[in-house]
């Protein structure tokens, strides 16, 4: 059992001036001692945030934060199995009129593949993914 951190949790922590260690401590205090990881999709989203920063100071702060996350957390790649799972979920849900954003779909599929829960601040986004347990901080 473990947790996949959604990028929303990381972004909120960074905006508060926190560290990855702060986020991990808060997550473990709320959910117990377990594996905590990221989807490679969060790497894309955090890197995107670095390059859209308005000032050089913001860019550097975000870069340091992201590098800390990439160093301190396991980053799970999008494997063939995860991609196939995401495709099945998206196909089934779209057929029912339930649209899931691609980023959230891949993060959720990563969690499901490993039998993990997703920790997010965007519960509604992830509740659309069947069988996925969604938790908050």
Mean predicted lDDT score pLDDT of the chain: 96
Domains: count for the chain: 1
Predicted TM-score of the model (pTM)? 0.94
Per-residue model confidence as pLDDT tens digits over 71-130: 999 999 999 999 999 999 999 999 999 999 999 999 999 999 999 999 999 999 999 999
What CATH code is carried by the domain that includes residue 78? 3.40.50.1010
42, 5 Cβ separation under 8 angstroms: yes
Domain that holds residue 48: 2-135
Is the pLDDT at 1 greater than 90? The verdict is no
State the pLDDT at residue 89: 98
Is the pLDDT at 137 greater than 90? The verdict is no
The Cα 78–Cα 64 span in angstroms is 24
């Amino acid at each position: 059992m473990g947790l996949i951190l959604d990028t929303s949790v990381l972004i909120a922590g960074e905006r508060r001036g926190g560290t990855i260690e702060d986020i991990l401590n808060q997550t473990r205090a709320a959910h117990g001692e377990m594996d905590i990881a990221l989807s490679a999709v969060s790497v894309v989203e955090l890197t995107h945030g670095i390059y859209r920063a308005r000032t050089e100071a913001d860019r550097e702060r975000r870069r340091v934060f992201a590098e800390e996350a990439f160093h301190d957390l396991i980053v799970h790649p999008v494997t063939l199995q995860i991609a196939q799972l995401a495709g099945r979920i998206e196909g089934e849900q779209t057929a029912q009129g339930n649209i899931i954003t691609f980023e959230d779909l891949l993060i959720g599929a990563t969690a499901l593949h490993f039998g993990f829960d997703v920790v997010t601040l965007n519960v509604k986004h992830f509740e659309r993914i069947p069988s996925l347990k969604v938790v908050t901080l």
